[in-house]
Amino acid sequence: MIEAQTHSPIKVGLFITCLADLMRPQVAFAAVALLERAGCRVRVAREQSCCGQPALNSGDRASTMNIAKSVIRAFSRDDFVVVPSGSCADTLINKYPDLFRHDVRWAGRAQGLADKTFELTTFLVDQLGAELDQVSYPGVCAYHDSCSGLRELAIQQQPRTLLDRVEGLSIRELEDGNACCGFGGLFSVKYPDLSGRIVSDKCAQIAQTEADTVLGGDLGCLLNIAGRLRREGRDLKVFHVAEVLAGMADGPAIGEAESEDKA
Amino acid sequence: MSVSTASQRVEFQERARQALQDTSLQRALAKARGGFVDHRLDAIEALPEFDAIRDAARDIKNHVLANLDGYLELYEQQVIENGGQVHWARDADEACQIVAGICKDVGAKTVTKGKSMVSEEMHLNPVLEAAGMTVVETDLGEYIVQLAGETPSHIIAPAVHKTREQITDLFHEHHSPLGYTDRVTQREALVNEARSVLRERFVTADVGITGANFLVAETGANVIVTNEGNGDLTSCLPRVHIVTAGIEKVVPSLDDLSVLLRVLARSATGQEFSAYTSLYSGPRRADDIEGPEAYHVVLLDNGRSRLLGGQYQPMLRCIRCGACLNHCPVYGSIGGHAYGWVYSGPMGSVLTPLLNGFDQSLDLPNACTLNGRCKEVCPVRIPLSDLLLKHRVEQHERRLSPGFGRFLLGVWAWLACRPRLYQGVMALPLRLMYLLGRRRGVLAWLPGAGGWTGSRDFPAPAGRSFMRQWQNRKVKS
Amino acid sequence: MNQARDQILGTIRKSLAAGEPRTLMRLEELRSRIQHSRPQVQPEFDDDLLSRFCQKHVAVHGTYDRISVEQIESAVVKHLAGMGLDAQWHLGSGPLLDATQWTDSVFVYRKGADKDTKVALSEAVAAVAETGTLVVCSGPAVPPSQNYLPDDHLIVVDRRCIVRHMEDAWAILRESGVAKGRAINLITGPSKTGDIEQTIQYGAHGPRRLHLLIVEDA
């Protein structure tokens, strides 16, 4: 575990993730707030866009390597890189080193990035042992463990540990919580019928818990789940776990309209 | 290699669509889904050594594959010592000819079969039927799909896609001419009726054909694992016993076999051990009062030997337990037939392109969310989702994937490497989507992603990207 | 045929040579690995063999009586009478069965079972406590059809034949020279199927019931 020195705060680079950047900036703001409250100095590299998963999962190694190189360069100055997404963190931590396994020039740099990269909740719990500010969220929450985070990075307990300290919040587990939500990035675009079918199963399980809120650590899954819940006419709120932990879950949830006075 | 990609794509997608709309299939799949997962979990939670045994199972398989030529030769020697014969088949046709030849030589009229996925891979039944033989599948599930004129949709639960009502109809139709005129609907009565009909077949069959879960080099035995006992009745009663097996099925010793048996049933059905695990070797011995007079093993290659030494070699560790099917959300949504060949689910999506040709099954490696649960549950630790990704790489590098998609991806990737430009280009569509969606919070239709919004809304983005807002915030402070 | 064999083995060798470097184990080395094969990871358990075996046997829907050696016939007759069945059965072979003097009140068939066989009585070569499994080996007086055709299968088990793990059973088979016999049948509970709606139904093709007579004082 890292010991924060009073004189030299922990320098963290935030990997925003393309979905948070474009779709839900508040997730990144929440991540910044959480890291700052935990004593980190957060830097947001301007030269970042996406981790490259769409190319990687389409089998386009060359494009992925180009993107990976730009990510490796962009974060070369940071002591740590924190990612508010299990699947993007997995890409940086596990997939980049594998891509450059046979590239003598880049293998070391890719491993260097991998070694200092952490998913947000694991960084807060496992690395910092952070005691977050007391926040409250009055809600019964179903937690969706996203697949890459769960299976490649063993993220399961960390978000629950953090959520345990949120006042008024309780967690209900899904019957088959290890099941995929059907997002799968481009899978949901290439095979929308299949994806739609899988997410409707997921939503049925969520509904079974009688929770009023869905939380998770990966925006892709959450957009998918929120989109399906809205289509089914269910009024569950969907938030990224960081939004709740940072006390930023008082505005519109994912897929929810802005309130009249704001809009 | 021909590039017949477009029609193949449509075929899978069309079959998948039909499967999603097939209410009987959906009812059957829904009924099956939870059971396999829960039973497996209960079984492995009761065995603290499970992961260590999985490692050992993987290591045994790896060791065998690295020495496959040697172990096949040792196995062959043992079979011959036991009085059996070993036949080698390079492909499915050759294997069919060998089996058909043996059957014809003994004047076989009726052939019983214990479940054998390899014989499905060979498409053996039509060949024997064309030669005038009656072929009877004896695994209850496989018997049901045979009556329906179908093929198995699951490795270990061939009729998982059939409802009880459908089975009732099938039995009534096919058993009435045999004198079973009552229409039975209850599970127990259905099982009893099949037992009675098939018993007649077992005792009159001339040749019995089984698969092999394993081949033991130490003793020359083929191992067959069932719960029903049909594999044993097929092996013991007819005059001739033929075993069809892939060349990768050999294990060194009985002790190695134990390791694999400990993970097989648990992963397949959540049982500690199946009801019947039998080792058969050679024909009846000199002083035996029963048993087959001849024992043949047909070893099928069909593309397996080419996979050794390459990036897909781990796939040859597969012991056909079906755990990856049972834990796959795509399989759970469409069942096995949509995959288009004998093997389905994650293991099928890896294996089919390798054995059948890459261009024959372009969809399979892509129709996967890469959730990795298949890899997690595999008893011999085959990195299935990683292998599917390797397929995608190969498709991309051989330019087999659709051109327009590759073009879009290329443009996007080019932009993604130029973040400042990327941020500028994204600003306009982002703003548009925000304006269109802000009233409801979602978009019910999105240009270019029509499929996505067919079954769900698209949450509207915030009007401005984080990067823009962050820059402004920095300027203000 | 030999051409196919040579070609397949040739492709295997070629493919392996092109892959990751491997240690070339000559046939003799592989054979020696088999001959010196040892049990690997095994499930551990503390309970004594008999109670573990019985517990596992019951868990797979089996039943049993614990009897003394002179009770074999009467226990079989009693069990059958309890189900309304006559005192006749197909008889297998083994040290206990061979030593039993059958009285005139029972009728035994020393032949393979047929499609109408109701009852068979076998003797296990070994029983595995780990899984509740019976090991029955074929032989001149042990036709395997007796294990699969009857409605009721009764198996006599000498308590001393209960071993801890599967590998211990293999050791017994190797020592007694039957490891390479025509049929080694491992039986764990009665026949069953889950092929209709994934719900277990007993008595698929094989015995509907499996009853053990565990002989404690042989």
Looking at residue B361, its pLDDT comes to 87
Based on the fold, state whether residues B262 and B334 are members of the same structural domain.
Answer: no
Looking at residue B34, its pLDDT comes to 80
Which residue type sits at A146? S
Average pLDDT along chain B: 94
- CATH hierarchy code of domain A10-126: 3.40.50
In a domain, B1, yes or no: yes
Structure tokens at C137: 């080996």
In this complex, which chains have at least 3 CB pairs below 8 Å with chain A? Answer: B
Based on the fold, state whether residues C66 and C31 are members of the same structural domain.
Answer: no
In a domain, B344, yes or no: yes
> Contact A230/B457, CB-based, under 8 Å?
yes
Looking at residue A259, its pLDDT comes to 72
Q: In angstroms, rounded to a whole number, what is the distance separating the alpha carbons of residues B395 and B390?
A: 9
> Contact B466/A16, CB-based, under 8 Å?
yes
CA distance C88 to chain B (A): 20
More confident call, B76 vs C17: B76
pLDDT digits (tens, 9 = 90+) for C125-159: 999 999 999 999 999 999 999 999 999 999 999 99
Structure tokens at B463: 């009007």
In a domain, C41, yes or no: no
Based on the fold, state whether residues B426 and B397 are members of the same structural domain.
Answer: no
- B221 C-beta neighbours (distance < 10 Å), count: 30
* A146 pLDDT higher than 80: yes
CATH 3.90.1150.10 fits domain A133-245: no
Based on the fold, state whether residues B427 and B386 are members of the same structural domain.
Answer: no
CA angle in degrees (0–180, nearest 5) for B130-B131-B137: 75
More confident call, B451 vs B335: B335
Q: In angstroms, rounded to a whole number, what is the distance separating the alpha carbons of residues A100 and A111?
A: 9
> Contact B289/C111, CB-based, under 8 Å?
yes
Average pLDDT of the residues in A64-69: 97
Q: Which of A66, A190, A196 sits opposite B455 (nearest CB)?
A: A196
Lowest mean pLDDT among B22-31, B90-99, B257-266: B22-31
> Contact C182/B78, CB-based, under 8 Å?
no
Residue from B450, B328, B453, B435 nearest B378 by CA: B328
> Contact B459/A255, CB-based, under 8 Å?
yes
> Contact B159/C196, CB-based, under 8 Å?
yes
In a domain, B354, yes or no: yes
In a domain, B292, yes or no: yes
Average pLDDT of the residues in C64-80: 98
Which uninterrupted H or E stretch holds B6?
A: helix B5-21
Structurally, chain C folds into a number of domains equal to: 2
Question: Which residues in chain A (168-227) have CB-CB distances under 8 A to chain B?
Answer: 175-176, 178-180, 182-185, 187-201, 223-224, 226-227
Q: In angstroms, rounded to a whole number, what is the distance separating the alpha carbons of residues C138 and C181?
A: 7
Residue-level length of chain C: 218
Based on the fold, state whether residues B164 and B284 are members of the same structural domain.
Answer: yes
More confident call, B258 vs B11: B258
Based on the fold, state whether residues C179 and C112 are members of the same structural domain.
Answer: yes
In a domain, C43, yes or no: no
Based on the fold, state whether residues B397 and B472 are members of the same structural domain.
Answer: no
Looking at residue B210, its pLDDT comes to 98
* B6 pLDDT higher than 70: no
> Contact C143/B229, CB-based, under 8 Å?
no
Based on the fold, state whether residues B239 and B360 are members of the same structural domain.
Answer: no
For testing contact with chain B, the best of A18, A21, A24, A43 (most B CBs within 10 A)? A21
> Contact B455/A187, CB-based, under 8 Å?
no
Structurally, chain B folds into a number of domains equal to: 3
Contacts of B81 in chain C (CB under 8 A): 180
pLDDT digits (tens, 9 = 90+) for B260-287: 999 999 999 999 999 999 999 999 999 9
What are the residue boundaries of the structural domains of chain A, listed by start?
Answer: 10-126, 133-245
Structure tokens at C166: 């599967």
* CA-based nearest residue in chain B for residue A175: B34
Based on the fold, state whether residues C157 and C210 are members of the same structural domain.
Answer: yes
Based on the fold, state whether residues C13 and C105 are members of the same structural domain.
Answer: no
In a domain, C40, yes or no: no
* C20 pLDDT higher than 60: no
Q: Which of C4, C174, C187 sits opposite B276 (nearest CB)?
A: C187
Domain end among B339, B370, B401: B401
Based on the fold, state whether residues C73 and C109 are members of the same structural domain.
Answer: yes
* B7 pLDDT higher than 70: no
Query: Which structural domain range is residue B335 located in?
Result: 1-25+322-401
Contacts of C4 in chain B (CB under 8 A): 88-90, 94
Q: In angstroms, rounded to a whole number, what is the distance separating the alpha carbons of residues B260 and B93?
A: 30
Question: Which residues in chain A (15-74) have CB-CB distances under 8 A to chain B?
Answer: 16, 18, 20-26, 28-29, 44, 46-50, 52, 54-61, 63-64, 66-67, 69-70, 74
Strands C201-202 and C192-193: antiparallel
Which uninterrupted H or E stretch holds B96?
A: helix B92-105
Q: In angstroms, rounded to a whole number, what is the distance separating the alpha carbons of residues B173 and B170?
A: 5
* B215 pLDDT higher than 60: yes
- Tell the residue number behind the tokens 């991309």, with chain if given: B396
For testing contact with chain C, the best of B184, B190, B215, B228 (most C CBs within 10 A)? B228
- B336 C-beta neighbours (distance < 10 Å), count: 26
Based on the fold, state whether residues C12 and C120 are members of the same structural domain.
Answer: no
Structure tokens at B177: 């001419």
Q: Indicate the SS3 state at residue B237.
A: coil
Looking at residue B337, its pLDDT comes to 94
pLDDT band at B358 (very low <50, low <70, confident <90, very high): confident
Q: Which of A23, A57, A74 sits opposite B461 (nearest CB)?
A: A23
In a domain, B438, yes or no: yes
* A4 pLDDT higher than 80: no
Based on the fold, state whether residues C132 and C198 are members of the same structural domain.
Answer: yes
Based on the fold, state whether residues C17 and C85 are members of the same structural domain.
Answer: no
Question: Which residues in chain B (198-227) have CB-CB distances under 8 A to chain C?
Answer: 198-200, 202-203, 217-221, 227
Q: In angstroms, rounded to a whole number, what is the distance separating the alpha carbons of residues B173 and B86?
A: 40
In a domain, C55, yes or no: yes
Based on the fold, state whether residues C15 and C91 are members of the same structural domain.
Answer: no
Q: Which of A29, A64, A254 sits opposite B459 (nearest CB)?
A: A254
Based on the fold, state whether residues B266 and B338 are members of the same structural domain.
Answer: no
- Helix spans in B269-402 (H): 304-307, 323-326, 329-334, 345-356, 363-366, 373-377, 384-397
CATH number of the structural domain spanning residue B165: 3.40.50.10420
Q: In angstroms, rounded to a whole number, what is the distance separating the alpha carbons of residues B241 and B239?
A: 7
Question: Which residues in chain B (156-175) have CB-CB distances under 8 A to chain C?
Answer: 157-160, 163-164, 167
Q: In angstroms, rounded to a whole number, what is the distance separating the alpha carbons of residues A14 and A4?
A: 18
* CA-based nearest residue in chain C for residue B94: C4
Percent of chain B with pLDDT over 70: 97
Which uninterrupted H or E stretch holds B226?
A: strand B221-226
What's the distance, Cα to Cα, between the start and end of chain A in Å? 44
For testing contact with chain B, the best of A98, A258, A262 (most B CBs within 10 A)? A258
Average pLDDT of the residues in B379-407: 94
Residue from C65, C134, C125 nearest C97 by CA: C125
* A71 pLDDT higher than 50: yes
In a domain, B391, yes or no: yes
Looking at residue B1, its pLDDT comes to 33
pLDDT band at C218 (very low <50, low <70, confident <90, very high): confident
A/C touch flag: 3 or more CB pairs below 8 Å: no
Looking at residue A104, its pLDDT comes to 93
Q: Is B418 on the interface with C (CB under 8 A)?
A: no
Based on the fold, state whether residues C21 and C77 are members of the same structural domain.
Answer: no
Based on the fold, state whether residues B292 and B216 are members of the same structural domain.
Answer: yes
Average pLDDT of the residues in B355-371: 91
Which residue type sits at A5? Q
Contacts of A23 in chain B (CB under 8 A): 459, 461-462
- ipTM for the whole complex: 0.96
* CA-based nearest residue in chain B for residue A74: B419
Query: Which structural domain range is residue C21 located in?
Result: 2-35
* A62 pLDDT higher than 60: yes
Based on the fold, state whether residues C27 and C86 are members of the same structural domain.
Answer: no
For testing contact with chain A, the best of B369, B381, B400 (most A CBs within 10 A)? B369
Based on the fold, state whether residues C20 and C90 are members of the same structural domain.
Answer: no
pLDDT band at A244 (very low <50, low <70, confident <90, very high): very high
In a domain, C171, yes or no: yes
Looking at residue B124, its pLDDT comes to 97
Which uninterrupted H or E stretch holds C173?
A: helix C166-175
Average pLDDT of the residues in A182-199: 95
Q: Do domains A10-126 and A133-245 have the same CATH topology?
A: yes
In a domain, B413, yes or no: no
In a domain, B201, yes or no: yes
* B412 pLDDT higher than 70: yes
Listed as own residue / partner, the contacts of C36-40 with beta carbons closer than 8 Å and 24 or more positions apart are C37/B218, C37/B252, C37/B253, C37/B254, C37/B255, C37/B256, C38/B255, C39/B255, C39/B258, C39/C165, C39/C167, C40/B53, C40/B56, C40/B255, C40/B256, C40/B258, C40/B259
Q: Which of B87, B217, B227 sits opposite C192 (nearest CB)?
A: B227
For testing contact with chain C, the best of B278, B295, B299, B307 (most C CBs within 10 A)? B278
